[in-house]
Amino acid sequence: MAERDLSESPVRELLRRFLITFFLGMVVYRFGTYVPIPGVSVEVLGKLVTDSTSTIGAILRYADMFSGGAIQNASIFGLGVTPYISASIIIQLLTYSIPALKALQKEGEGGRRKLNQYTRYATLLICLVQATIAAIALANYTVNVGSQGETSLLQQGYDRFAFIVTAVMVITTGSMAILWIAEQITRHGIGNGVSIIIAIGIIAYMPSALSGIGTDLVKVLMVAIVCLLLIAAIVVVVQAVRRIGLEQQRRVQGNKIYGGAQTTLPLKLNQANVIPVIFASPVIIVINVLVGWQVIAWLGLDQMFSYGNVGHRYLFAALIIFFTFFYISITFDLKEMSSHFKQSGFFVRGIRPGQNTVDYLQAILTRITFVGAIFLALIAIMPEIIGSTLGQTHSNLLVGGTGLMIIVGVTIDVMQKVGTFFLAQQYRGLGDEGGRKPSGGKRF
């Protein structure tokens, strides 16, 4: 928290931060999701998204969940924070691969600011590419609406080239505006702004995602029980940590003994969070597009890997497990970690420093990564399983899926931020008891 937080009433400051988060997230962002792109037929696009028999409709519904219905509304915020997330992951992977960026990361606050600036540039570039693809698709895609035949997503009277140029500018500006809103929430609100924006979009999508369940009491109770069990499992897995004991070497100087401190190295069970799902989603989308090709249909693979089939679920789960291990292998440099332990005088309890420490940490990391990857894969494919069990094709995308995991993770993060805020105020109050009183506001 900022310095001003500790000089004011903690309740007042916390209320101010919650109000800022609510205004920027629930008012400004949600208002933008209902502002359509000029020239797009919102009704036709809505029919495409809600079409339960279309593969492209299923893909759009999955993406629409993270944007809070912005895609179905043809909103200027349709891309959401996806470009920023993609840019952040790319910069993070490049940081571990390129020595210059890795050295920049170790420079402290100045280095992090430069990396954040590079991330913004990459976000703008990705926005332009994705906005161009979306604008071309909107200008050329046609939808079969029954008696009306093939209808274009582009309204009549609009020139295609002019629409594409305008749409690219509007969509890119809207996505960068979301990034600005997220940064303001992070700076002046509470919690991580990007996570808050995603969670708000998923929560806003929840009523429409559950509306298809109907009034069957058995189905409603079943969904409620599954949600409660999944929330409990997600909390356990998100909070699960494997702690490795570390000891500091002792040295004797004269009659005094120095060192001997003990600490732990925490390794989270779900270290990759939802990043493997973000990696696997575009790959499975490309596979869904390829399934529609005549060659794939001739080989009979379209029935196996098309959306809603068992092969599609297993393939998606396998991709998530693969990308989980890939991400962990890139971001965790165990040799550098072991070298850092040796320089600091620490060693793993009962393990010799050097290669033995690396092998020991690698074995533990592999086991917990496998368990975390299996859990993440089950969470990701749970919507399809529940949908096929209840006979629903599109209404249960949220239930038990990655969206629920994001909501639970953001809620836990906000609770931890609030606890840290009050703890810092409590320590300041203990420090002020023996000295002067705080200059601004009363002590909590």
Q: Which of 211, 241, 258 is the last residue of a domain?
A: 211
Whether residues 178 and 284 share a domain: the answer is: no
CA distance 405 to 274: 8
Q: Which of 211, 237, 259 is the last residue of a domain?
A: 211
In a domain, 413, yes or no: no
Read off the pTM.
0.76
Whether residues 241 and 365 share a domain: the answer is: yes
User: CB–CB of 97/90 below 8 Å?
Assistant: no
DSSP H/E element including 175: helix 160-188
Where is pLDDT greater, at 287 or 332?
Answer: 332
Whether residues 103 and 221 share a domain: the answer is: no
In a domain, 242, yes or no: yes
Which DSSP letter does residue 37 get?
A: P
Whether residues 193 and 57 share a domain: the answer is: yes
In a domain, 429, yes or no: no
Tally the C-alpha atoms within 13 A of residue 212's C-alpha that lie toward its C-beta: 19
Whether residues 133 and 203 share a domain: the answer is: yes
Q: How far is CA 343 from the centre of its chain?
A: 35
Where is pLDDT greater, at 172 or 268?
Answer: 172
CA dihedral (61, 67, 72, 76) positive or negative = negative
Q: Where are the beta strands (DSSP E) in 23-162?
A: 142-144, 150-152
CA distance 60 to 281: 12
Which DSSP letter does residue 154 get?
A: B
DSSP H/E element including 94: helix 82-97
209-216: long-range pairs with CB below 8 Å, 24+: 209/65, 209/395, 209/396, 209/397, 209/398, 209/399, 210/395, 210/396, 210/398, 210/399, 211/395, 212/392, 212/394, 212/395, 212/396, 213/390, 213/392, 213/395, 213/396
CB proximity list for 160: less than 8 A, separation 6 or greater:
139, 140, 154
In a domain, 422, yes or no: no
Q: Return phi, psi of residue 233, to 5°.
A: -65, -40
Number of domains, the chain? 2
DSSP state string for 320-361: HHHHHHHHHHHH--HHHHHHHHHHHTEEETTS-TTHHHHHHH
In a domain, 74, yes or no: yes
How does the average pLDDT of the chain come out, rounded? 77
Whether residues 173 and 275 share a domain: the answer is: no
In the block, tokens 């995602």 appear at 209
**What tokens does 420 get?**
């840290």
In a domain, 421, yes or no: no
Helix (H, G, I), strand (E, B) or coil at 392: coil
Which DSSP letter does residue 75 get?
A: B
Q: Determine the structural domain holding residue 12 and report its residue range.
A: 1-211
- In tens, the pLDDT along 216-242 reads 677 777 777 877 887 888 888 888 888
Whether residues 163 and 246 share a domain: the answer is: no
Q: What pLDDT score does 306 carry?
A: 60
Q: Which of 140-144, 260-264, 288-292, 362-366 has the lowest mean pLDDT?
A: 288-292
**CATH code for the domain in which residue 25 is found:** 1.10.3370.10
User: CB–CB of 287/315 below 8 Å?
Assistant: yes
The proportion of the chain whose per-residue pLDDT surpasses 90, expressed as a percent, equals 8
CA distance 125 to 133: 13
Which DSSP letter does residue 434 get?
A: S
Q: What is the pLDDT averaged over residues 26-45?
A: 86
Q: Return phi, psi of residue 75, to 5°.
A: -80, 155
The β-bridge partners of 262 are: 247
Whether residues 157 and 169 share a domain: the answer is: yes
The proportion of the chain whose per-residue pLDDT surpasses 70, expressed as a percent, equals 77
Whether residues 189 and 280 share a domain: the answer is: no
pLDDT at 1 over 50: no
- In tens, the pLDDT along 369-384 reads 898 889 888 887 776 6
Whether residues 178 and 68 share a domain: the answer is: yes
pLDDT at 294 over 70: no
CB proximity list for 183: less than 8 A, separation 6 or greater:
193
Whether residues 136 and 10 share a domain: the answer is: yes
CB environment 38-52: b (16+ within 10 A), e (fewer): ebbbbebbbbbbbbe
pLDDT band at 124 (very low <50, low <70, confident <90, very high): very high
Q: What pLDDT score does 6 carry?
A: 45
In a domain, 420, yes or no: no
Q: What pLDDT score does 26 carry?
A: 87
Q: Which of 211, 243, 267 is the last residue of a domain?
A: 211
Tally the C-alpha atoms within 13 A of residue 7's C-alpha that lie toward its C-beta: 6
Whether residues 224 and 138 share a domain: the answer is: no
In a domain, 182, yes or no: yes
